[in-house]
Amino acid sequence: MSLQCGIIGITNVGKSTLFNCMSSTKVETTNFAFSSNKSNIGVINVPDNRLYALEKLQPTEKIIPATVEIVDIPGLTKGANQGEGVGNKFLGDIRNTDALIHVLRCFDDENLSHVDGSVDPVRDIETIDFELQVQDVDSVEKKIQRYQKLAKVGDKDAKHGIEVLTGLKQHLESMQNARDYEIKDADKKHLDDLFLFTSKPIIYVCNVDDASAVNGNHYVEKVKETLKDQNTEILVIAGKLEAEIADLEDIDDRNEFLADAGLTEPGVNKLIRGAYSLLNLMSFFTVGPKEIRAWTIKRGMTAPQAAGAIHSDLERGFIRSEVMKYDDFMQLGSEAKVKEAGKFHVEGKNYIVDDGDILHIRFNV
Ligand SMILES: Nc1nc2c(ncn2[C@@H]2O[C@H](COP(=O)(O)OP(=O)(O)OP(=O)(O)O)[C@@H](O)[C@H]2O)c(=O)[nH]1
Ligand SMILES: [Mg+2]
């Protein structure tokens, strides 16, 4: 399942720094604007404490977490839509992603200049949004033109499509994002093939100074105020601090460092889980003495489709799936106890898998 979440933002706001906290492949971070000149993909483990809790009940040889692909994309700048900075080239990389993490500089640092002269995350949101909205208006206009040709020869669906898209165009031109455009489900088909930038689900990350890791700062307050009516999540992460923590080899050192900063887990863990869920992904588990493993599926997938995530043979030859809920297993302590309590289920082809289900697939090929 290669869905990707892209990290976007102005140059020098800490995108690569955050990427490095998540990924074991490291990329260069520098003080220079536009230091990244290509996008980098990281296959990143999704932190899930349930795997370690399961291991306490079922000792195992190895634990294999789910993964998610995150792409570190070089910074955009004003005029990217006209080829300014390194911008244009990377709009294509953003287009290819399925969800976005928008990093905002919310820290002061005299030694690190901001390309637009001052630290102002609200202006930065507007700058990036504008670049993406301009692209989206362009896509929408092109589709309206195609519909106009069809409407001329009497296509009613196209006529209605023009109304929907014209509304969307006005919405974009008033500097709003497609994801906040209210639209009937039946009308979504007019937008679906456009892959608009501003309709991608998004998380904002306020990259703050160490002291603001827990409670944020005045920049974060402004960001929250600006985004209050938008359909999005906002995370506060102290990027530089987290990079130092991620560099520590020893787990006890890391925990001590985190505790000193007032954190119970790295902020990037929340970010990775957020990206996973933004992509509409979730995990089911297989549990045994050889391995305990989290498998990735899209929300709403059936048991045979989930079986297919393990191996295509399991989907093809699917007979049934034995299902235990994670919470039942943890509470009751063993498969036998789950059975005794009548909570062990045998499910067929139409079963929709839940996040955290422990599955055993029966198949025959
Ligand atoms: N003080 C401070 N500096 C930071 C923080 N996060 C990143 N930096 C510094 O900011 C500079 C730029 O960071 P990068 O991660 O390379 O920025 P980027 O957003 O990837 O930049 P481009 O790739 O050029 O778009 C580096 O010198 C980082 O050490 C932070 O939270 N606080
Ligand atoms: Mg970078």
195 Cα: distance to centroid of ligand 2 (angstroms): 24
Encode burial over 293-318: b for 16+ CB neighbours within 10 A, e otherwise.
bbbbbeeebbbbbbbbbbeeebbeeb
Q: What rounded mean pLDDT belongs to the chain? A: 92
CA of 133 to the centre of ligand 1 (A): 25
Residue-level pLDDT at 82: 64
Q: How far is the CA of 50 from the centre of ligand 1 (A)?
A: 33
The per-residue pLDDT for range 105-125, each reduced to its tens digit, is 999 998 888 888 899 999 999
Q: From the CA of 103, give the closest atom in ligand 1.
A: 19
Q: What is the layout of strands, in order, in the sheet containing 357-363?
A: 62-64, 291-298, 281-287, 357-363, 318-325, 345-347
pLDDT one-digit tens code per residue, 137-186: 999 999 999 999 999 998 899 999 999 999 999 999 999 999 999 999 99
Q: pLDDT digit of tens for each residue in the chain (365 aa)?
A: 579 999 999 989 999 999 999 987 778 787 776 767 788 999 999 999 999 999 999 999 999 999 999 999 988 877 666 655 555 678 889 999 999 999 999 999 988 888 888 999 999 999 999 999 999 999 999 999 999 999 999 889 999 999 999 999 999 999 999 999 999 999 999 998 999 999 999 999 999 999 999 999 999 999 999 999 888 899 999 999 999 998 888 889 999 999 999 999 999 999 999 999 999 999 999 999 999 999 999 999 999 999 999 999 999 999 999 999 999 999 999 999 999 999 999 999 999 999 999 999 999 98
**From the alpha carbon of 36, which atom of ligand 1 is closest?**
23
Cβ of residue 112 lying under 6 Å from some atom of ligand 1: yes
How far apart, in whole angstroms, are the C-alpha atoms of residue 144 and residue 135?
Answer: 14
Q: Which amino acid is at 248?
A: L
Proximal ligand: closest to the CA of 110: 1
Terminal Cα distance for the chain, rounded: 23
Which residues contact residue 243 at a Cβ distance below 8 angstroms, ignoring those fewer than 6 apart?
17, 20, 21
85: Cβ contacts below 8 Å, ≥ 6 apart? 11, 34, 75, 76, 77, 79
Contact 288, 57 (CB under 8 A): no
Q: How far is the CA of 72 from the centre of ligand 2 (A)?
A: 7
The sheet carrying 99-106 orders its strands as: 40-45, 67-72, 4-8, 99-106, 202-208, 233-237
Left if phi > 0, otherwise alpha if psi is -120 to 50, otherwise beta: which for 117? left
- Best residue among 11, 13, 17, 19 to mutate for probing ligand 1's pocket (most ligand atoms within 8 Å of CB) is 17
pLDDT for the residue 85: 56
pTM of the model: 0.91
Share of the chain above pLDDT 90, in %: 81
Question: 7: which strand partners?
Answer: 72, 101
CB of 321 sitting under 6 A from ligand 1: no
Is the Cβ–Cβ distance between 76 and 178 less than 8 Å? no
